[in-house]
A and B are shown apart, each in its own frame.
Chain A
Amino acid sequence: MAGNEGERPALRRRGAEIAVALVMLALAAIIAWDSVRIGARWVADGPQTGYFPLYIAMLVGGASVVNLLRALLIPREKNRTFVEVRQLKTVLTVLVPTAVFAAVVIWTGIYAAALAYIAFFMRRLGRYAWWKVAAMSAATVLVLFLMFEIWFLVPLPKGPIERWLGID
């Protein structure tokens, strides 16, 4: 349906292009600045540590300026949607839990975090019954545990629950 609220663009292409080019420019500037600080000149024993990165940073900067200018020159009628509101919402409902998952691993260990993450995902996006959610997430975590800790001998981060169970 045209004019539907969900299909309204959250961000247009030009905005996205400009944002990416500016982030790249900022990264280039940081590296260029630090290269000069640690020495980017040619001395008696050859190029200094910052010599090569300085030129690379200049190339990133130059290419980003071109990309920035090209983005600014996108005509209004060609400024297509980069992401629709509805799409952005879906992406964020996944991205935010994923970021939280990555952030809490340091305290909870990977198994507990994975259990909660898979359960949340299945319940929220898949709307499965609780018993299915519990069974699936527990089974996955158990298989992962057996595979990494026991068969392939790769220890993964563990938290208070594993310590309490005495398997850390």
Chain B
Amino acid sequence: MEEIQSLLQGFAVALTWKNLLFMFLGIVLGVLIGVLPGLGGANGVAILLPLTFTMAQTPGGTTTAIILLSCIYWGALFGGAITSILFNIPGEPWSVATTFDGYPMAQQGRAGQALTASFTASFFGALVAVVMITFVSPIIAEFALAFGPPEFFSVFLLTFCAFIGMSKEPPFKTLASMMLGFLLASVGTDTVTGTLRFNFGSIWLLNGFNFLVAVIGLFGIGEILLTLEEGLAFKGKDAKMSLRVVMETWKELPRYWMTAIRSSAIGCFMGVVPGGATPASFMAYGMAQRFSRDGERFGTGKVEGVVAPEVANNAAGTSALLPMLTLGVPGSPTAAVLLGGLMIWGLQPGPLLFIEQKEFVWGLIASMYLGNIAGLIVVLTCVPLFAAILRTPFSVIAPIIVVICAIGAYTVYNSIFDVWMMVVFGVAGWAFKKLQYPLAPLVLALVLGDQAEASFRQSMIMSQGDLSLFFSNLLVGSMTTLAVVLLFWPLIALGWKKLRER
């Protein structure tokens, strides 16, 4: 087993004192980010990304840097559940489904049990996804080495079509938001010919719009404005965690093995096909409700109702890294930010990474195992501390978060213009969120826009403008067909339902 050997080498890379230190630091920062309003996985990682620039210059530093950033992500995935259960406020969109049964449990004084179940479920989901990444990603990477521009474009197409078809938001709003991302990506320098476009004579626009700034504005500032509307006070339940509660919950959990397996399958699938963690958690909750013996009592504080979405969202969030590492196509906004980090450090994401940067890739995969164990330990022991942080008044926390967001936006390119753009994106994020324009497609299109355009134009040059190139062989053809099917999925599902009713 070549993978096992590579993984063991990866553990050797990841298991240095320095890396372990940054791992715990990342997890603690991540949980904090997941708990605080206005900071989430995507913008949290984006803000802290500039801190790794100097770190990545040292030998082996890129591995430490990615361990730090990915652990922030794991921490945020764990941390989202804390606010859902204790405060009935989902810290992250993917933990909305956790509030359904988690908050009733907290109201009944079973917060400790709910939190233990949620953290353990998160850990299980992430673990399944990491095992899948370990064994599946080398295969996909090898396969993808033979990809040319048409294949890459069909992967992009699949990504974007999946978003529109799987989205819970109105399809035309998803389309508009995604295409807006492409438009913003096209501003600046044309990557194929090197000519300038759409800068309208402004030097500020020469570099185009930076997606990290967009992420910080849309998710960070936008989220703070939304939180403000709801009022400034948090009222939460107390969590009493003790070893006894943890042990008792663990004794109960194996009963839900079927739910856990089903949810992790949903999560892994939705994470790789970029449906994202949020729909995965809802889907897993719905399935668990349908198949559970006491499904009708869901929503009143069932442990199973906490396990199902938490397994799924962590499995999805983690497996979103699989397409990022193997194809250079991120499955979620946070994965997109990590991808941006890789590019800034001078690594080219994609199949070649597995050959040229073996140490980096396997160090990262090994750190996923270790990081999730570290995460479980940190969240189980530190919940009261994090809950206490949430009780600090919003009028103290909010300005500090805004200042940190501004610093994050500035440091990406040392440009003050980016701080202004952050405010603009913040207002846009606030309006978009309220009008159900999804933000994730915009961010992904902004990240992938240049590459998608380049691969499209290179393909068109290859075929001299013949679109049938995208159906020219089995691989490209099946991916393009799948993309079209996913795009029209809501219509197909509707038609199928009508046909069955007849």
Contacts and interface: CB of A to CB of B under 8 A. Distances in A.
A142 interface: no
A31 B402 CA distance: 31
A105 B360 CA distance: 38
A49 B395 CA distance: 48
Contact of B407 (A70, A90, A110): A110
A24 B178 CA distance: 12
Contacts, number: 162
B224 interface: yes
A29 B312 CA distance: 41
A52 B191 CA distance: 12
Interface in B208-267: 221, 224-225, 228-229, 232
Nearest to B431: A20
Chain B, interface size: which category? Answer: 35 or more
A63 B434 contact: no
B228 A114 contact: no
Q: Which of B170, B172, B404, B416 has the most CB of A within 10 A?
A: B172
Given A38-B195, A63-B175, A105 B225 contact: no
A117 B403 contact: yes
Interface string B165-177: 0000010110110
Interface string A3-36: 0000000000100110011001001100100110
A49 B431 contact: no
Interface in A64-107: 64, 66-67, 70, 82-83, 87, 90-91, 94-95, 98-99, 101-103, 105-106
Nearest to A71: B435
Interface in A97-147: 98-99, 101-103, 105-106, 110, 114, 117-118, 120-122, 125-126, 128, 136, 140, 144
B361 to A, nearest CB: 26
B493 interface: no
Given A50-B197, A156-B411, A102 B183 contact: no
Contacts of A60: 176, 179-180, 183
B228 A90 contact: yes
A152 B179 contact: no
Contact of B228 (A64, A91, A110, A120): A91
Contacts of B60: none
Given A60-B176, A82-B434, A117-B402, A154 B51 contact: yes
A153 interface: yes
A3 B228 CA distance: 22
Nearest to A127: B395
22 contacts: A13-B435, A16-B435, A38-B195, A46-B457, A46-B461, A49-B190, A49-B197, A51-B457, A52-B456, A60-B180, A82-B434, A91-B229, A91-B430, A98-B423, A99-B423, A105-B406, A118-B399, A118-B400, A125-B395, A125-B398, A126-B395, A144-B404
10 tightest A-B CB contacts, nearest first: A126-B395, A121-B399, A63-B176, A46-B461, A125-B395, A118-B399, A60-B179, A63-B175, A53-B186, A87-B229
